[in-house]
Structure formats: C-alpha cells, structure tokens
Amino acid sequence: MSDIHIRITGRAGRITLTRPQALNAMTYEMCLAIEAAFDAWRVNDAVDLIVIDAEGDRAFCSGGDIAELYATGTKGDYAYGRKFWADEYRLNHKIFSYPKPVVSFLQGFTMGGGVGIGCHGSHRVVGETSQIAMPECGIGLVPDVGGTLMLALAPGRLGEYLGITGTRMNAADAIFAGFADHYVPQSMWKSLTLEIEETGTTEALGKAEEKAPDATLEPNLDQINALFAGERFGDILTVLNNDDSTFAAEALKKTSRNSPLSMACTVEIMHRLRGPSLTLEKALDLEYRFTYRAMEHGDFLEGIRAAIIDKDRNPQWQYAGQDVPLAAVSKMLQPLGPDALNLGDTP
C-alpha cells in the first residue's frame, strides 16, 4: 500500500505513514493495515517493540480521511461511517493496551485520528514543530479516538478548554496535558530511531530527552480552571461572556466557530468520565454513541461541507444561538443497545 510502509527493521516493528501530500491523513485501509500489523507482531518474538512515524515535515497525521464518510453520509448511508469509527476505535484500544512498547514520533500536526494512533502508545515523542489538537467540534464531531480519556485526565479543566476550543498544543503543552511523554529535538530523531531498532529497547529516549520550551497551558491553568469549571456548556459560555480578559475573548472566538451541539456533548462526556470509573473503554463507548448518530442527527455532514467540500467556512449549525437543550445532548449520548461499540477480541 503506497499510503503506508509496514516492515520489521532490527528488533522493531516499523510503521511509517507515507501520505505527506495529504498531511498523512489516515484512510480506512491504513487503519486496517496498522491493526493487522499490531496483531501479527503481538505474537512475534522477533519484534520487541513498535515504532510509528511519518514522512514529511508538516504532519505526523492530520486526522482521518473524511471524504468517503461525507460521500456516503450525504447519500443516507450511515453504515460505512459507523463501521469506520468502530474499527478505528478498536485499533486505538489495541494500541493503548499493547503488551510491547509503542514509540511514536509526532512532528507537525497530530490531530484527531492522528492522536488515536500516535498518542495511545507508551512512549510519545514530540519536537519543536509538534502541534497536537482535538479540533473535532469544528466539524460537528466530538473529540474521539479515545481522546476524551486524555482530556478527562488532563490537569484541572484543561479537558473542557482543549475539547471545545480545539486549541493546538505545542510540545511542552502536550506533555503537560498528558498527550506526549518526551521532548527530543527533531534533528536527533533519525539516529534515535536507528538505536531503538538495533537494541529493541527504549532506553535511548531517556538519554536524548530535553526540557520542552515555551509552555503556554501550565502558566494559564488557574484562569482556565476558573473559566471552564461550569457544569454544562451553557454555564461555561456565561462565564466567558462575563469575563473581560483577553484569554476569555480568544476562547469565545474559538468556540464561535464550532458546533454548539458538539461542544455541549463534549462537556457532558468530560463530566461523565471523570471519577474512579474512568477507563478507555468507557471513553470510547461514549464517543461512539455520538459518532454513531453524528451524520443522521448531528452537525457532522454540515461541518464537512463547510470546511472541506464547499470551503465556505460558514456552517449552518443546529442551535446556532449556542443554547443547546439538555434533551439534545441526552439524545446524542444515550446508550446504543445492540449497536453499542464492540471492541472485539482486544485483549
């Protein structure tokens, strides 16, 4: 497959995304190929660990390739999208629970589906160009691919802030928020990968690691906690609208571009997840409840039309006044019964 290069090099299973012209956006076929490799290498004693990287300077993976989702959804075929998301989430869970180390090198944009394959492994490496985000509310989805787990675990109310604004994190921010582990200058990545392949261990990462510069989230955490502590999306909006700080104004500007239904559901998911019962399985289940309904009842198709198809950047959202009824949130997140997400034989 020309979009992805899968092989064994030394002691490492190697996966390289090779669609730099498309910012390494992940197709359904790439998702299935990655899963097959993870399954095969799980029981292969010649593979001690897995290394995932990508060609090009601009992106590790900018997200999922959503053109086919739009093409099928606009014809009233929701089954393709539902299967795509179910299979993708199963892969995310396999990476998260993998018994061998999984090292990912996250240059440039790592967003949406890129977070799903790049940020669930055991050793997540960022560098000076890294920009990690969960911008799904901007296209009528909620942060998914297990991203809500990391958002719910992030310090304070960072989860709400990052989830409903889609703010991009640099390397220092990603480490602080729990989306990455190691900052290593990108000039060292090639030699580091060669050493990992040769030794079959991750020891070299600790030696190469440096302190990431230019943190922006941690210095603003107190303000984020104060502004995003509301029980519901409407509560957060009220606080933001009554705060005269530049930070609040910028946050409001970001939320004004996004689907109100998606943002309201994102806040609700955060609050349902937090607590002693927080697991990736629970996060993926809630995400799938939304994505299962996103084409038929949500803003997803309109979000893609405005951003990708017509590119008019003028989506006609439901609840454009941002007053989202509780019943609408409950409808999107109610259990799916026999259609609930099935993670299959994931150990």
Give the tens place of pLDDT for each residue, 176-229. 999 999 999 999 999 999 999 999 999 999 999 999 999 999 999 999 999 999
Percent of the chain with pLDDT over 90: 95
Please tell me the predicted confidence (pLDDT) of residue 68.
Answer: 86
Mean pLDDT of the region 297-312: 96
Question: At residue 347, does pLDDT exceed 50?
Answer: no
- Taking Cα atoms as reference points, which of 265, 271, 306, 325 lies closest to residue 70? 306
Is 116 within 8 Å of 86 (Cβ atoms)?
Answer: no
CATH superfamily of 138-149+217-347: 2-enoyl-CoA Hydratase; Chain A, domain 1 (3.90.226.10)
Do the Cβ atoms of 1 and 29 come closer than 8 Å?
Answer: yes
Buried/exposed code over 230-242 (b: 16+ C-beta within 10 A; e: otherwise): beebbebbebbee
- Rounded Cα–Cα distance for residues 184 and 11 (Å): 22
Residue 280 · residue 287 · CB < 8 Å: no
User: Average of pLDDT values for 244-266?
Assistant: 97
What mean pLDDT comes out for the span 164-171? 98
Structure tokens at 209: 């690691």
User: Which pLDDT value is given to residue 1?
Assistant: 61
Provide the pLDDT for residue 345: 60
pLDDT at 32 over 50: yes
Average pLDDT over residues 243-263: 97
Determine which one of 136, 181, 195, 287 is catalytic: 136
Tell me which CATH homologous superfamily contains domain 1-133+170-214: 2-enoyl-CoA Hydratase; Chain A, domain 1 (3.90.226.10)
Q: How far apart are CA 306 and CA 321, in angstroms?
A: 18
Q: Which three-class secondary structure state does DSSP give residue 182?
A: strand
Distance CA 186, CA 287 (A): 33
Q: What is the mean pLDDT of residues 330-347?
A: 88
HEC readout, 122-178: CEEEECCCCEEECCHHHHCCCCCCCHHHHHHHCCCCHHHHHHHHCCCECHHHHHHHC
> What's the pLDDT tens digit per position in 123-135?
999 999 999 999 9
| Catalytic hit among 63, 64, 114, 140 | 64
pLDDT of 145 over the 60 cut: yes
The number of C-alpha atoms within 13 Å of 73 and in the hemisphere containing its C-beta is: 24
Task: State if pTM tops 0.75.
Answer: yes
Location of each CATH 3.90.226.10 domain in the chain: 1-133+170-214, 138-149+217-347
Mean pLDDT, range 303-324, rounded to an integer: 94
Instruction: Report yes or no: 171 and 133 within 8 Å, Cβ to Cβ.
Output: no
Q: What is the pLDDT of residue 344?
A: 80
Select which of 53, 144, 195, 287 is catalytic.
Answer: 144
Q: CA–CA separation, 166 vs 175, rounded Å? A: 17
CA distance 92 to 112: 12
Q: Whole-angstrom Cα distance, residue 117 to residue 23?
A: 14
How confident is the model over 291-311, as a mean pLDDT? 96
- Does residue 302 carry a catalytic annotation? no
Please report where in the chains the tokens 């990545």 appear, as a residue: 189
Of the candidates 113, 146, 147, 178, the residue annotated as catalytic is 113
244: confidence class by pLDDT, cuts 50, 70, 90: very high
55 is a catalytic site residue: no
Q: Reply yes or no on whether 136 is catalytic.
A: yes
Strand intervals (E) in the chain: 4-9, 12-17, 49-54, 59-61, 102-106, 109-111, 123-126, 131-133, 182-183
Instruction: Indicate if the pLDDT at residue 346 is higher than 60.
Output: no
